[in-house]
Amino acid sequence: MQNGRRTRVSRPGFSFLELQVAFVLLSIALAGLAPLVVMQSRQVKRLESRFNHQTTYHLTPSTNVWARKLGAAAMIETEDPGTIEAAGSAFEAHVNFQRPADPAPGTFDEADYEPDAGALFGDRGNGLTYGWNVDNSANAENRNSGSSPDERYDTLNHIQQDANEFTWEITVPSGTYYVRLVAGDADYINSVYQINVENVLTVDGVPTDGNRWLEGTATVTVTDGRLTVDSAPGASNSKICFIDIYPAYEVRILSVDRSPGSEEMTANVEVIGQ
Ligand SMILES: [Ca+2]
Ligand SMILES: [Ca+2]
Ligand SMILES: [Ca+2]
């Protein structure tokens, strides 16, 4: 993802206005509608007091993938970020780590999960090419635990075991991706989960009795043809449950305007990379 040059208005999180704008953006992204939208808000007057009417504001995505997916991902910027390169890829994949004998876990959150049963990297015959640097099938587990939220969490494979370090990769078009990775084990908490996705630390934490699964998200750019998952230096006995890979997209508000005395706010929006 190319963010260009810009001056950020540094504020943590996002405002209610940004939230609304982002929800509209999400609707546009989903519906493919023309990039001109009108928002209504009783709070708009109060919110608008935060903004200078003489300034054009640009809304650019925040870095959190789930915030993005919820449509609540935005930061207001006052300098045009310039041309933002389209992500250029609609590649999306959802892979569940599991034993060879187990069926794929199915569909969750409208995503169909493909199974990874620990096989060597290769064409899986499902339109995707992925796998491990070694045959890792013997290390896969199916806990059949009542504490697992669903089968994605219940099944896993080791990315580390004893002194062995394993690497998992999937072929993707060059580009930027938003990745969610879930690690954990229904039965054991003797791990330190520090897992990199394309050298970006994505999962980082220690499981507890009450919190057996850890997840993280990262925005990563792949230039070598394979999105790579491996252990970070502090990890021990790391295991992975499933991974969600989404294409990057950019959204921008070109301007936010409101007529005096009106509760109607107009956002001129551009969605790139869909
Ligand atoms: Ca199971
Ligand atoms: Ca799994
Ligand atoms: Ca890679």
The least confident of 36-50, 116-130, 141-155, 205-219 is 36-50
Global pTM reads 0.68
Kindly give the distance from the C-alpha atom of residue 212 to the centroid of ligand 2, in angstroms, as a whole number.
13
Residue with tokens 């546009």: 28
pLDDT in tens, 77-118: 666 555 444 444 578 899 999 999 999 999 987 789 999 999
User: Distance from first CA to last CA of the chain, Å, rounded?
Assistant: 13
**Same domain, yes or no, for 234 and 258?**
no
Single out the residue of 219, 92, 108, 116 nearest to residue 167, CA to CA: 116
- Domain extent for 63: 16-86+249-272
Which amino acid, 120? L
CA–CA distance, 223 with 32 (Å, rounded to integer)? 28
**Same domain, yes or no, for 256 and 241?**
no
112 domain-assigned: yes
**Same domain, yes or no, for 103 and 234?**
yes
CATH number at 117 reads 2.60.120.430
Q: Which ligand is nearest to the CA of 241?
A: 2
Q: How many domains does the chain have?
A: 2
> Is residue 162 scored above 80 in pLDDT?
yes
**Same domain, yes or no, for 97 and 201?**
yes
Confidence of residue 55 (pLDDT cuts 50, 70, 90): low
**Which of 98-102, 174-178, 269-273 ranks highest by mean pLDDT?**
98-102
Q: Which ligand is nearest to the CA of 179?
A: 3
Kindly give the distance from the C-alpha atom of residue 105 to the centroid of ligand 1, in angstroms, as a whole number.
9
Q: Which ligand is nearest to the CA of 99?
A: 2
**Same domain, yes or no, for 115 and 198?**
yes
Kindly give the distance from the C-alpha atom of residue 112 to the centroid of ligand 1, in angstroms, as a whole number.
17
6 domain-assigned: no
| pLDDT value of residue 40 | 42
**Same domain, yes or no, for 38 and 169?**
no
